[in-house]
A and B are shown apart, each in its own frame.
Chain A
Amino acid sequence: MAIEGNLETFNLPEILQMISSQDKTGILTVQGVNDIVAISFKVGQVVGAVALNLTVEEGLGQVLASQGMVSPGDFAEVTEEHERTGKRLLDLLTEQGLLDRSSLLEALRLQTYRLMLQLLRWDQGEFKFYSGDEVAYEEGFYAISVEELLIRSVSDLGEEQGAELPEPEGVYERVPGAAEIKVQGVDGEGPSPGDPAVWLDSEEKRLWDSLDGERSAESLAEEIDLGRYKVLFTLYRLLSEGAVRPKAVPAKDRAEERKEVPRDIPEAPPEAAPPMEAPPAIEPEEPAESLEIPMEEALEEGEEEPVARRPSLDLDWIGELVPSASAAVVAILLGALPFAASVSGLLLPFPWQSDTRQTLEANRTLARYQRIDRAARTFFLLEGHYPDALSELVDLRLLAVRDLHDPRGRVLSYSSDDVSYLLQPVEEGRPVDEVPVRESITGDFLLDPDFLEVPDREAPPLVLLD
């Protein structure tokens, strides 16, 4: 299914936010006046972008050169080899040792970001989104969230900002009565023309509810698991609408708060963020006094290493290991289940199903005994007696080896005399507490010589008198 329109009706940030909010996977093509750009999305995040007038190779070359990661001469040589051999340029760069894989991915991420930045300048063109299950992207590419893109683009595009950019360490509080907050899906579908209210989605509403003027943006991002850039972007919107304002926090409090906040943020961790062309937008332009203390300094100023944090981090492996190990163990058990004695435990696993389970097992046992009986009778038909052991039936292919057990996997003990045999399951060498099954030839006209008590077959012929 494709969604399409033009940039006069929807601006690009709106389109990007829509794709992001719906976790869409697919490709967005935007045809502008001079170029066509295709952006790949996976689960609502940007994983690649290409332009008609700028190939990946060209774009990458520009990035590598501008960042000083590969000299123009080396890059030209690699490009030549790429054209000559047809091998992927990206592979050649790493194979020839010009770049390691992580640097290459950073460069790709930067190139994608630059292309997106260029795209965000467009105000004319047509767009079309092709939804799909899968898109191609470079393995290991660290996706760019739409919120990250938009918030960085605010400063990188050099446009007039509606509000100051929020900072991760900043503490923000709600401005009472400044704006009406509405939630999509609760108060309506979304903003309508002339509606002064600030519309938030459910995740943004969680942030709004958590704004207490005490915790930093970064701390909130961690606590409500919203993602760093999502928090910053939402704050930016709220700042623009005047719904929130920054609050100064004493430096000591900030330092203490930092001790409790784990540094690793799930979405776009700092170490994964590539070097950007321009300084990151999240750098405060006019940092408040309380924000002047960098994190490292704050940690040093703390009188001791935060005690509460260490065990918390040390035991995180439990959260990863327990579910994975449990899943692995249970999967192995499940894999072995069909080969275990009975599968009725799979179909009817719960205690209150024991009656049906027993009946199922009983019927399966009955079917097994009938098969054995049939084989034993065929043996009798051929040999004139029952077999001395069930294995004789296996030798004749009348039974399979597994038929020597009952459906619960218990060995069947067998004994026979001239006209009957006895079957009983055995566990640990002892017969189980069940009535043994006895079968005989009685009632079988093919086997039982007594069944057809035909008087003397050689009787004298009937003589008709007169």
Chain B
Amino acid sequence: MSRSGGNPPAASGFLRPQGVLSLVLWILPGLLATPPPLGAQLDTAPREGVTLSRSVSQVLAHLQDDWIGWMNSYFQNQPEVAEEHLRDLLSSLDVLGFERLPELSTGATVRGVEAAFQGSPERAEFAFDAAERLDPGRPEIELGRAILARETGDRLGAVIHQLRAIQRLFGIQSYRFLWWRNLLLGILAVVLLAGAFFTVTLLARLGPPLMSAIRKNLQGRIPGPMGHLGAAVILLWPLVLPHGVAWALLYWSVLLWAVASRSQRVVLGLVWIVLGATPLLLSMQLRQVQVALSPPSRAIDAMEEDRLYGTFFSDLGVLATLLPEHPGVLELLGDVHRTLGQWEEALPFYRAVLEQDPDDRTSLISVGAYYFRKGDYGNAIRFFQRAANLEDATAAAYYNLSQAYSESYLFDEQKQALRRARELGEEQVSRWIEERSEERVVTFQGGLGAEEAIRSALVSSWSRQEDSRKVRPFLSLVLPVLGLAFGLALRRGLEGSLPRRDPFPDRGTGMRMVRTFVPGLTSAEEGRGGQGFLAALVPAALLLIAAPGRVGFDLPWGLAPNRGAIVACVFASLVIFLGIRLVRAVRG
């Protein structure tokens, strides 16, 4: 089946049946994962995508062949041949207009890890070097080197490589995006867990006087001994509800608010606000995360970072299917075709963009470049002039115009256009002249310029289906208000019933140890809300760090990071934290 032919973008399907199937399979997790998935429009939207020309297909086939060649020569321990295949791989990649092959880089890294386990550090290093050239700066390579260091007994080196892997994580858009979202989730989880610990410590210290106050209020209604039982029931009843612990903590926090010190009340109030705002924050973040995990977003990230991965073309097809008329998507698809050298296939996309926005500068320049490349300088001048006549004209429009004039022997106009280009961007023009390529004119990835707009459109398409459920996260915002209202009412109701707080509770050895190992208990006794909460933050944070992946979204690591180091760090931090508290307790 031929992939050339340059069908217009909105006319007929580009994807073969297998391609369509692959799209469905790719977004299947999304379909399953979320009730109204991104790909829900697949069945109704017109199908569009990326058509691969014969020459591009041949280059891609070369990539496959060279990869197999590299693996064979690697196994046969022929570094020179492997090096040759690697050079060919990168050369083919360059022809396609990309710079990185992430999956092959990960594959080479895994080979390196295997070699490390087999006790061949040289071969491992050879594989890691190849991985580094296939996709420079990938965190997985450092994870592989960490494994090699560990296998060779270099523990410090392993830690350093592990840290470098974390540092490299921020160099990849998709990793970085999820990492920040995980951080937000982690912070919310730590604050809420610390808030729960804080409430529990308050309950331990202020619970007895609270129960006493409740009992006094029951006097007259419930006889003597039953008063204790009644007070206990009043304190514990939420535990029998579904989600009982959550209800109980919320209920206790309201009861304790009535008997707590001012700073403790402030902390409880802030925790209520975080608890109330969390669903809203999450709701907003989840839309973005869902889009970020979708195939279209992956393709945009790859375009932005010059990475070519296996399902890149299929993923772009999903994007085209979801937003078939979006000018940013149309231009992006045109850019992909142009990058691959498929100018004929690119032109209809740019024309479609200009139909929607006749003043789209980058599309005007791209169409002009198309005609320039074909030797149709008259049309090239026409489009470059349109770009140059725009209010926000750039040096590129004038520079390209000067090149078209030059080819048309209109040297006066050429000089004038070049002068104007230099006025607008002397530095850029000098660079273009120095780096003069075969194309002679400059073009831009206008589709990537619309990246934010495309992502917003994807988020909106998802949000539209969420509209019916938008109100619910807002319900939680009522929580802090209700908490405050109930707390105030209760405080008033219990006025006169509360025993005075004992400022110097039991200081026996046993209680001292309890206080040492239960952070926040002493502060709870002394009415210091801020310190009590900070004390609870430490164990909450350590617990959640020790259980990564329980809180956030899995980063798409190509190699599993070693969690042993993290757990060891957490354990050491916990020991140090408790040790300091113990020393301070012993010193009195």
Contact = CB atoms under 8 A, between A and B. Distances in A.
Contacts of A143: 503-504
A267 B500 contact: yes
B34 A362 contact: yes
Contacts of A396: 110, 113-114
Given A347-B278, A374-B556, A338 B193 contact: yes
A332 to B, nearest CB: 10
Interface in B218-267: 224-225, 228-229, 231-232, 235-236, 239, 242-243, 245-249
A369 B547 contact: no
Interface string B518-544: 100000001110000000000100011
B310 A367 contact: no
Contacts of A347: 185, 188-189, 192, 278, 282
A142 B502 CA distance: 11
Interface stretch (A61-69, A161-169, A244-252, A350-358): A350-358
Interface in A400-430: 400, 402-403, 407, 420
Residue in B52, B147, B225, B553 whose Cβ sees the most chain A Cβ within 10 Å: B553
A140 B507 contact: yes
Contact size class for B? 35 or more
B549 interface: yes
A333 interface: yes
A97 to B, nearest CB: 20
Interface stretch (B53-61, B334-342, B389-397): B53-61
B193 A225 contact: no
Contacts of B549: 402, 407
A360 B285 CA distance: 10
Interface in B1-50: 1, 18-19, 21-23, 25-26, 28-30, 32-35
Interface in A432-446: 434-435, 437-440, 442-446
Given A356-B472, A370-B554, A445-B310, A323 B235 contact: yes
Contacts of A373: 29
Nearest to B553: A367
A334 B200 contact: yes
Residue in B63, B225, B313, B502 whose Cβ sees the most chain A Cβ within 10 Å: B225
B111 interface: yes
A318 B502 contact: no
Contacts of A364: 552-554
Interface stretch (A276-284, A293-301, A308-316): A308-316
A3 interface: no
Contact of B215 (A319, A362, A453): A319
Contacts of B290: 359, 363, 366
B246 A349 contact: yes
A375 B215 CA distance: 61
B476 A367 contact: no
B79 interface: no
B2 to A, nearest CB: 9
A356 B466 CA distance: 10
Contacts of B239: 326
Contacts of A400: 560-561, 563
B225 A312 contact: yes
Nearest to A311: B225
Contacts of B499: 225, 266
B282 A348 contact: yes
Contacts, number: 313
Nearest to A312: B224
Given A360-B282, A452-B60, A349 B243 contact: yes
A326 to B, nearest CB: 6
B111 A323 contact: no
A227 B242 contact: no
B432 to A, nearest CB: 33
Given A43-B503, A346-B193, A366-B30, A328 B310 contact: no
B167 to A, nearest CB: 20
A83 B71 CA distance: 82
Contacts of B114: 396
B510 interface: no
Given A139-B588, A440-B25, A443-B19, A370 B33 contact: no
A444 B314 contact: yes
Interface string B296-308: 0000000000000
A363 B235 contact: no
Interface stretch (A29-37, A183-191, A376-384): A376-384
A452 to B, nearest CB: 5
Contacts of A315: 225, 228
A144 B34 CA distance: 64
A154 interface: no
A397 interface: yes
A466 interface: no
Interface string B182-202: 000100110011001100110
A327 B197 CA distance: 9
B560 A398 contact: yes
A358 B34 CA distance: 8
Contact size class for A? 35 or more
Given A206-B496, A225-B499, A440-B22, A345 B113 contact: no
A272 B188 CA distance: 47
A444 B180 CA distance: 29
B560 A330 contact: no
Given A331-B197, A347-B192, A446-B67, A454 B560 contact: no
A365 to B, nearest CB: 5
Contacts of B527: 23, 43
A273 interface: no
Interface string B484-505: 0000000000001111101110
Contacts of B200: 327, 330-331, 334
A351 B143 CA distance: 41
B73 interface: no
Given A323-B208, A437-B32, A443 B25 contact: yes
A444 B243 contact: no
Contact of A369 (B19, B29, B228, B502): B29
Interface stretch (B100-108, B365-373, B399-407, B445-453): B100-108
A343 B503 CA distance: 37
Interface string B161-197: 0000000000000000010000001001100110011
B557 interface: yes
Contacts of A226: 500
Nearest to B317: A443
18 contacts: A139-B588, A267-B500, A316-B228, A323-B235, A331-B197, A333-B245, A335-B539, A359-B34, A359-B290, A366-B34, A366-B290, A369-B33, A371-B557, A374-B556, A400-B560, A400-B561, A446-B67, A452-B57
Q: Which 3 A-B pairs have the closest CB atoms?
A: A323-B207, A443-B22, A349-B246
Given A23-B503, A359-B290, A444-B311, 18 more contacts: A44-B503, A133-B528, A139-B588, A311-B224, A338-B543, A338-B550, A346-B192, A365-B32, A371-B554, A382-B71, A382-B110, A397-B113, A420-B25, A437-B32, A438-B28, A440-B21, A450-B18, A452-B64
